[in-house]
Amino acid sequence: MKKSRLLVAAVTAGGVLAALVGCSPSSGGGGGGGGTVEHATNCTNKLVVKSAPTVTVWAWYPNMAKVVDNFNNAHKDVQACWRNAGAGGPEYDKFQTAVSANKGAPDVVMLEADHLTNFEIQNALVDISKYGANKVKGNFSAGAWKDVSSGSAVYAAPIDGGPMGMIYRTDIFKKYGITTPPKTWDEYAADAAKVKAAGGPAFGDLGANVPAAMMALEIQKGAQPFVYDYSAKPKDISIKLDDQGSKDVLNYWADLSKKGLVGKQDQFTTDYISGVVNGKYATYISAAWAPGYLTGAGVGKGQDKGKFATAPLPQWDPANPVSVNWGGSALAVTTQASDKALATKVALGLYADPASLADGWKTQTIFPLNQNVLKSSEFINAKIDFFGGQTANKDVYVPAENAYKGFTYPPFTVYYYAQLQNQLTAINAGKIDGAGAATALQAQIVKYAKSQGFNVK
């Protein structure tokens, strides 16, 4: 009896110790072992050259396993150790926590262009122009390069772009007699009314949870929401969210939403995808990466195979078309990387080899920003299966990308998007009109910026 009790006590004590040890930071775990370049463990991929120093990477490209293998097979002096820390928001939250804690961040992190400034101002990203980033500048368009730079500083290697277009269902257009896709937003609204009058489905969708898309659409009408230059004046920002352009665009969508011409469904949800598959939306105002996402979610495979096509984004003024961007991503080097030159080498080389790029664009996982691909005739003339063999790159996305001039993002994107999302939800609920939402948003964001210590102009 006594012996067995002792045994139990010993086992319990051992268990507690093990639990405590398990929690110590030395075991790495979710941290990804930032800073310990030589001893990175817990990679999702297999390291090819085990003796080489490793660089930890967080990224969520669906074909990342192949991309990492391509890189590691081609490099003897450095190996990428990849982990998927979540797509978008979840990864930003983890990265943000690691930045705040000053530990636990990877050496290289995948970020969307609109989130770079947010981390630049927290001194979380390295200016990689010091480590030779400008050598690859020629591979990218001016707009793409502007999105990852601040003045002469460069904070990430551009990988993926999001030139916007209008994806539409050919079967719905045909059924309701729309012979040519709308070229202007006025035509878009008129067609929407026509389909609705004939008892058809919603023409599009005002998803409150895609504020980045709404910001792009506002910029298309001439809005310039933020003027900010981190490298020159990190404390000065100009905020203009209630200009006429923004009000017009928000009013336009509020009107469509109120009349029931577009859906009010959040996007990237099962409900939305189910609606897309079942033909509940005639169009999807989205970016070049959308087909890859939709295919991955199961769209265009069964009953709705070959029913999608794409057209250029409708314009406000067809004489002066404006090209805008939604999403797109880049690889940044974090200040927690112990060997920043080596990390830069990985960031610049990881998704830059022909095999990875080809795999990326052929599966529509990415819309490559690398000009070597953008200008290749194979890419331009590719017949995209999702769009029933349409040469979508040539028709829509390459011209859109070439005309894209770059945006300026605020240093508090997450907060701004959350507030814009609240306003879009209120618009969908019929509680506020577009102009009212713009005014409220301006007041909120200015107040927040001031509370964060910015000089607001």
Which residue lies nearer to another protein by CB, 119 or 397? 119
User: Should residue 269 be labelled a site residue for another protein when binding is judged by CB under 8 A?
Assistant: yes
Q: Return d(Cα 83, Cα 55) in angstroms, integer.
A: 11
- How far is Cα 26 from Cα 117, in angstroms, rounded to an integer? 31
Asked if 409 is part of the footprint of another protein (rule: CB under 8 A), the reply reads no
Instruction: Determine the interface stretch with another protein among 190-198, 262-270, 344-352, 381-389 (rule: CB under 8 A).
Output: 262-270
Half-sphere exposure of residue 82: CA atoms within 13 angstroms, side-chain side:
27
Cβ–Cβ contacts within 10 Å for residue 9, how many?
10
- The rounded distance, in Å, linking the Cα atoms of 92 and 89 is 5
Q: According to the binding rule CB under 8 A, does residue 265 interact with another protein?
A: yes
Q: Dig out the tokens for 446 from the structure.
A: 């200015």
Nearer to another protein by C-beta: 89 or 151? 89
Based on CB atoms, which residue is closest to another protein, 135 or 233?
233
Q: How far apart are CA 419 and CA 387, in angstroms?
A: 35
- Exactly one of 48, 52, 414, 435 binds another protein (CB under 8 A); which one? 414
Question: Least distance from C-beta 349 to another protein, angstroms?
Answer: 30
Pick from 119, 112, 110: which is nearest to 80 by CA? 110
Indicate whether 428 belongs to the interface with another protein (CB under 8 A): yes
**Stretch touching another protein by CB under 8 A, among 66-74, 214-222, 293-301, 447-455:** 447-455
Residue of 123, 122, 108, 88 whose CA lies nearest to 32: 108
Sign of torsion, CA 103 108 113 117?
positive
Binding mask 14-33 for another protein (x = CB under 8 A): --x---x-------------
Identified binder of another protein from the candidate list 73, 100, 102, 152, rule CB under 8 A: 100
Q: Which of 66, 146, 175, 264 binds another protein (CB under 8 A)?
A: 264
**Exactly one of 188, 379, 412, 432 binds another protein (CB under 8 A); which one?**
412
Residues that contact another protein, how many (by CB under 8 A): 41
Q: Classify each residue of 275-294 as buried b or exposed e, where b means 16 or more C-beta atoms within 10 Å of its C-beta.
A: bbbebbbbbbbbbbbbbbbb
Q: Cα(95)–Cα(312) distance, rounded to whole angstroms?
A: 35
Q: How far is the CB of 36 from another protein (least distance, A)?
A: 24
Q: In whole angstroms, how close is the CB of 76 to another protein at the nearest point? A: 39
> Phi and psi dihedrals of 396, rounded to 5?
-125, -55
Beta-bridged to residue 64, according to DSSP, are: none
Q: How far is CA 241 from CA 156, 354, 420, 427, in A?
A: 27, 41, 10, 16
> Is 209:267 a contact under the CB 8 Å cutoff?
yes
421: contact with another protein by CB under 8 A: yes
Q: Is residue 321 helix, strand or coil?
A: coil
Choose, by CB under 8 A, the member of 411, 434, 438, 441 that binds another protein.
Answer: 411
Using CB under 8 A as the binding rule, whether residue 259 contacts another protein is answered as no
Please identify, using beta-carbon distances, which residue of 271 and 317 lies nearer to another protein: 271
Q: Does 453 bind another protein (CB under 8 A)?
A: yes
Residues that bind another protein (CB under 8 A): 12-13, 16, 20, 89, 92-93, 96-97, 99-100, 121-122, 208-209, 234-235, 264-266, 268-271, 274-275, 411-412, 414-415, 418, 421-422, 424-425, 428-429, 451-454
